[in-house]
Amino acid sequence: MAESILRRWNQELTIAGAIVLLLLPLIGIQPKTYLTLTIAGIAMGMLLFLVASGVSIIFGLMDVLNFAHGALFAWGAYVGFTVFKYLMKWVVADSVLQNLAVFFIAIVAAMVAVALLGVVLERVIVRRVYGNHLFQILITFGATIVLVELIRVFWGPNDETMTVPLTFAGNWDIMDVIVYRYRVICIVIGAMVYAVLQLILKKTKLGTIVRAGVEDRDMVQAMGHNIYLLFTGVFAVGAGLAALGGLAMSIFSLQVYPDMGGTYLLFAFIVVIIGGLGSVTGSLVGALIVGLTYNYVAYLVPWAAAGVNILIMIIILLIRPTGLFAAGK
Amino acid sequence: MGEQGVDETILEVQGVHTFIGQHHILQGISFDAKADAVTVLIGRNGAGKSTALKTVIGLLPSSKGKIIYKGKEIQKNRPFEIARMGIGFVPENMGIFSELTVEENMRVAMLVENEATARRLDRTLEMFADLKKFWKAKAGNLSGGQKQMLAIARAIVNDTSLLLIDEPSKGLAPIIVDAVIDAINRIKEHSVVVLVEQNFYMASSVGDYFFILDDGMVAHAGHVEALIQDEALQSKYLGISEAEE
Amino acid sequence: MAGPTPVQIFHEEEKKRQYRSGTFFLKVGLLLLFLLVPVLFPAFKTIDLAMQIVLFAVLVASFDILLGYTGILSFGHGMFFGIGAYCVAFLIGKYGMPSYTNLALGFLIAAIVSAALALLISFLTLRVKTIFFAMITLAIAELAIILATKLTGFTGGEDGISLNTPGIFAVSFNMGDFMGLEITGRVFTYYFILFSCIALFLIMLRFTRSPLGRVLQAIRDNVQRAEALGYNTFLYQSISITFGCIMAALIGGLYAMWVGYVNPESSLGVLTIMLDVLLMVIIGGMGTLYGGIIGAAFLKITQTFLPDLQHLAMDLFPHAQLLHNVLERWLLLFGILFILVVIFFPKGVIGSVNEYLLQRKMAKPTISPSSFTPTPPGNRP
Ligand SMILES: Nc1ncnc2c1ncn2[C@@H]1O[C@H](COP(=O)(O)OP(=O)(O)OP(=O)(O)O)[C@@H](O)[C@H]1O
Ligand SMILES: [Mg+2]
């Protein structure tokens, strides 16, 4: 009883904190700029969510901290880049339909390819080190080196420019508030992924088993569920989401480069520490916090932008070491 | 009740050794479970009772020895394969998924969702009325006794022929213990039960055969009735748990 | 006093054997080699290579204090190294004159700053999960690079800081010829760093063999048991981490003295320094301290001669494009090597050799008291 009251209290505290945090920047920012920044922050948050949710579920279910997630992210971006390159006609066509088609093909290609890569990674490498955190980190770090180097071998070591599908570029001007179209698309993608994930986790039997596994792997096994198959599946889904994040982010930042995964892996770590490892909702909230503060601070005090998220992470670690939405265990 | 039947052995553990890390916990343990009977494993704390059950279900790998279930060696199988052969497991900590609702807990437990399972679910819920009452509640909010009921219900909702239950009376009030005894007495009508139990009252109320474990080995075995007679044996191995009661 | 106990006899035997054993001669030989490098191979390239091996071997050893002896993976070790380098560079480069006092002060400040930061990070992460240490040190190390790059006024930004070493360490210092060797500031610096590194290495060796070091290994092997035995694991781990990080900072300071220049990428980089250190410790073997020497020598020598190897391959097989591509991406090979070593030889070179020797020793029985079975150092992470 007391526990549930405490939990509710915590939830209210979180919401209150979030609102204050959200409105605080208004002190230093014009309302219109503020709205633009907020949309940018939410868009960035949604993209971070795509990366972080994979890290979070993989850790929650498998107890594996996947340092190779950033490399999978970069692979997603590069696969999408290749699709764009071959279907450049459709990318630059002034047709919503063709733009959507190429975008969709790129997403499917990136997610499928990287999910397969994830399966290989899990089966060949990660599986050997279950239960040993130190070796997991080492081995997935080694996998990162190999995957990033392979990008350099296949696509060359230099930055490449990513093209925004023509009708996604530009912005709407809604009562003097500038709203970039692609950011809205990012928000829609993130929200959709969150909804689908929640639906699967909450409403399907498979999702229920995954949530049960996050709490107690051994029990799920002892009930007759093939946990290893589940691990591979979840790893593949996590990899696929990272790929989607990578592709979306590369369009956002207009470029792909071999090392691009490193920065976002770091963001993902910050997000899951803030949100709580193992919780999808935690990842979303954490990602939005990181995305928003990053954008506000980058506008107000540009040099402090990178540090402020680490500061938030440290504060969260001090007051609530398991993150805002601690899952299971 | 049902100790007449054919003298058929459904589970046979032969000289099994289990290590946890570098610790040699089970040191050549042997016991069996006869059909139509409840076999009780007793022994002081740390004797290796839980380890024995976990080894049977495959959660801990054995390094030596054989585990034969229905005539098949299963010691090399993985837990989920063993479970699918019809062995249900209720661990010592009950293994409740506390973030899930009671309903979801039951669903995760149901391996196949067909009519037979639905019938078993009805039967189970009739046996544990509380579960029906809190069907949509979060399992973490259940009381200790209700959690134990849920844990047992999860194990018997499938078509199990062998049920491994680890200390179901742990931390429960005497009245609730009686309810658990009732439940086990009903379960033994359709499934063989291997029960780890410290509570001698419970062990003697449901058990047919007993094995006393000590330091990872079997120290004594026989009919529970004989154990009830043998006060010396009781005080040697079960002194502590009786004093507690 | 009564006669020596079996254990004492065993230790005595062990000690005697130590001075006769092959490894003892190996160590002396290695030491002689490094002592004679400036005499035998006075070319800058070889001296520099030797110095880099020494510095990295000791840096890897300090990393091993965390990884191999405490079971904690830090991605911030490069940062602590960099903090040391920057502190020394500030004191005798950007904000102070090159003097011995300032140099010493630089090392002192390096130790204090790194100790404070290490304690802070330990406090933040160890309360939760030890794996948080890896994530958070990665984040903070990245932040350090950003700060060093962006705070141009304070750190010199991307351009970094050049520093001048004082007195006998100065580049301009020259004492003339001595037995064919030109005694320059460079030579003094080489020996100063070499002896400092040996001292640091011995301190670390002492640390791991102290009672404290044994407690740490007990914690590493089984946290629950160590806690059950009443050890404050948090405290012990923090001490060990802080010790390792101070060592890294001091080595960073020595490194700055040697290269005479610090910048964010070469001194702080996660992808430059950390990668090398990780490869070295894995190849050499975790939990051995000596593994760092092998790892550092292997990696530094390969890196130095890779361009030559590439040219050689170009000359020998001018048409094997694939070979050239792969050699160009040598990091790919190292990455694969890294994964293979982690999977198949998790104990690294030293650990595997130790295991092999131990097995041979077990095969032919030697005197050993029944109650005392020697275990290989660093048998698992
Ligand atoms: N993870 C572990 N690491 C080390 N030793 C363990 C571990 N788990 C159990 N043990 C040891 O194994 C022995 C047997 O444990 P087990 O849980 O099987 O005992 P038990 O008979 O079930 O005791 P209890 O009546 O207290 O439940 C104990 O001595 C215990 O300390
Ligand atoms: Mg037990």
What are the residue ranges spanned by the domains of chain C? 43-171+180-268
Q: How far apart are CA C285 and CA C223, in angstroms?
A: 22
pLDDT for residue C14: 64
**Which of B68, B32, B73, B24 lies closest to B218, judged by CA?**
B32
Res. C120: pLDDT tops 80: yes
pLDDT for residue C380: 35
DSSP3 helix / strand / coil % (chain C, rounded to 5): 75, 5, 20
Q: How far apart are CA C6 and CA B238, in angstroms?
A: 42
At a CB cut-off of 8 Å and minimum separation 6, what does C118 contact? C80, C238, C241, C242, C244, C245, C246
Q: Which residues of C touch A270 (CB under 8 A)?
A: 139
pLDDT for residue A46: 94
Higher pLDDT, B165 or C355: B165
Higher pLDDT, A27 or B50: B50
At C339, the amino acid letter reads I
Q: How far apart are CA B53 and CA B60, in angstroms?
A: 9
Which runs of consecutive H residues, i.e. helices, occur in B65-190? 79-84, 102-109, 115-127, 129-133, 144-156, 174-187
Q: How many domains does chain B have?
A: 1
Q: Please give the distance of CA C369 from its chain centroid, rounded to a whole number.
A: 35
Could you tell me the domains of chain A?
28-319 (1.10.3470)
Percent of chain A's residues with pLDDT above 90: 50
Give the pLDDT band (50/70/90) at residue A315.
confident
**Which of B166, B171, B169, B170 lies closest to B195, judged by CA?**
B166
Task: Answer yes or no: do A219 and B95 touch at CB < 8 A.
Answer: yes
pLDDT for residue B144: 87
Residue A104 to chain B, least CA–CA distance (Å): 35
Higher pLDDT, B211 or A326: B211
Single pTM value for the model = 0.85
At a CB cut-off of 8 Å and minimum separation 6, what does A223 contact? B80, B83, B89, B108, B109, B111, B154
How many degrees, rounded to 5, is the angle at CA B219 between CA B213 and CA B221?
90
Of A214, A224, A327, the CB nearest to B111: A224
Contact B156, B120 (CB under 8 A): yes
Q: Is B241 near ligand 1, meaning CB less than 6 Å away?
A: no
Neighbors of chain A by Cβ distance (3+ pairs < 8 Å) = B, C
DSSP state of C367: -
pLDDT for residue C339: 92
Of A125, A132, A259, the CB nearest to C339: A125
Residue A265 to chain B, least CA–CA distance (Å): 28
Percent of chain A's residues with pLDDT above 70: 95
The protein residue whose alpha carbon is closest to atom 19 in ligand 1 is B46
Mutation target vs A (from C135, C137, C344; most A CBs, 10 A cutoff): C135
Res. A180: pLDDT tops 90: no
Task: Answer yes or no: do A221 and B91 touch at CB < 8 A.
Answer: no
pLDDT for residue C270: 67
pLDDT for residue C15: 64
**Which of B160, B172, B201 lies closest to B40, judged by CA?**
B201
Of A215, A221, A328, the CB nearest to B79: A221
Q: Is residue B127 part of a domain?
A: no
Q: Is B183 near chain A, with CB under 8 Å? A: no
Structure tokens at C9: 């006899």
Q: Is B48 near ligand 1, meaning CB less than 6 Å away?
A: yes
ipTM of the complex: 0.88
pLDDT for residue B2: 41
Please state, as a whole number, how many other Cβ atoms lie within 10 Å of the Cβ of residue B71: 8
Task: Report the range of poorest mean pLDDT among A84-88, C57-61, C358-362, C374-378.
Answer: C374-378
Neighbors of chain C by Cβ distance (3+ pairs < 8 Å) = A
pLDDT for residue C167: 72
Mutation target vs C (from A149, A257, A313; most C CBs, 10 A cutoff): A149
- Helix (H/G/I), strand (E/B), else coil: B110: coil
Average pLDDT over residues A188-207: 93
Give the pLDDT band (50/70/90) at residue B245.
very low
Task: Answer yes or no: do B79 and A218 touch at CB < 8 A.
Answer: yes
Q: How far apart are CA B27 and CA A95, in angstroms?
A: 74
What rounded mean pLDDT belongs to chain C? 82
CA of B83: which chain A residue's CA is closest?
A224
For helices A260-275 and A69-86, angle between their N-to-C axes, nearest 10 degrees: 130
Task: Answer yes or no: do A137 and C151 touch at CB < 8 A.
Answer: no
Give the pLDDT band (50/70/90) at residue A248.
very high
Q: Which residues of A touch B154 (CB under 8 A)?
A: 223
A58-68 tens-digit pLDDT: 998 888 889 99
> What is each CA distance from B127 to B123, B130, B186, C23, C32, in whole angstroms?
6, 9, 9, 72, 82
Res. C19: pLDDT tops 50: yes
Task: Answer yes or no: do A222 and B89 touch at CB < 8 A.
Answer: yes
**Which of C20, C61, C54, C55 lies closest to C35, judged by CA?**
C54
Q: How far apart are CA C361 and CA C44, in angstroms?
A: 43
Res. A72: pLDDT tops 80: yes
Burial class (CB in 10 A: 0-12, 13-18, 19+), C159: exposed
pLDDT for residue C289: 87
Q: Is B5 near ligand 1, meaning CB less than 6 Å away?
A: no
The protein residue whose alpha carbon is closest to atom 12 in ligand 1 is B25
Q: Is residue B176 part of a domain?
A: no
Task: Answer yes or no: do C342 and A65 touch at CB < 8 A.
Answer: no
Ligand nearest to the CA of B199: 1
Neighbors of chain B by Cβ distance (3+ pairs < 8 Å) = A
Q: Give the E-state strand segments of chain A in sequence order.
A: 160-161, 171-174, 177-180, 255-256
Q: Which residues of B touch A221 (CB under 8 A)?
A: 58-59, 78-80, 83
Res. A25: pLDDT tops 90: no
Percent of chain B's residues with pLDDT above 70: 94
Q: What is the CATH number of the domain that holds B29?
A: 3.40.50.300
C338-378 tens-digit pLDDT: 999 888 888 888 888 877 887 776 665 443 333 333 333 33
Residue B206: domain span: 1-84+198-245
Percent of chain B's residues with pLDDT above 90: 50
Average pLDDT over residues B11-40: 90
CA of C149: which chain A residue's CA is closest?
A303
A141-155, C15-29, C151-165, range with greatest mean pLDDT: A141-155
Q: Is B91 near ligand 1, meaning CB less than 6 Å away?
A: no
Strand pairing class (C174-178; C181-184): antiparallel
A257-267 tens-digit pLDDT: 999 998 889 89
Q: How far apart are CA A66 and CA A59, in angstroms?
A: 8
At a CB cut-off of 8 Å and minimum separation 6, what does C237 contact? C70, C72, C122, C126, C130, C216, C219
Contact B95, A218 (CB under 8 A): yes
pLDDT for residue B83: 94
Average pLDDT over residues A91-100: 88
Res. B57: pLDDT tops 50: yes
Ligand nearest to the CA of B42: 1
Give the pLDDT band (50/70/90) at residue A48.
very high
Q: How far apart are CA B106 and CA A59, in angstroms?
A: 25
CA of C324: which chain A residue's CA is closest?
A153
C75-79, C176-180, C286-290, range with greatest mean pLDDT: C75-79
Contact C324, C306 (CB under 8 A): no
Which positions 61-80 of A are in contact with C (Cβ < 8 Å)? 65, 67
Res. C1: pLDDT tops 50: no
What do you get for the CA distance between the two ends of chain C, in Å? 41
Buried b / exposed e along A267-304 (16+ C-beta atoms within 10 A): bbbbbbbbbbbbbbbbbbbbbbbbbbbbbbbbbeeeee
Reading across the β-sheet that carries B23-34, which strands appear in turn?
B23-34, B9-20, B62-69, B72-73
Res. C259: pLDDT tops 80: yes
C150-201 tens-digit pLDDT: 888 788 777 888 888 777 777 777 777 776 677 777 888 899 999 999 999 9
What rounded mean pLDDT belongs to chain B? 87
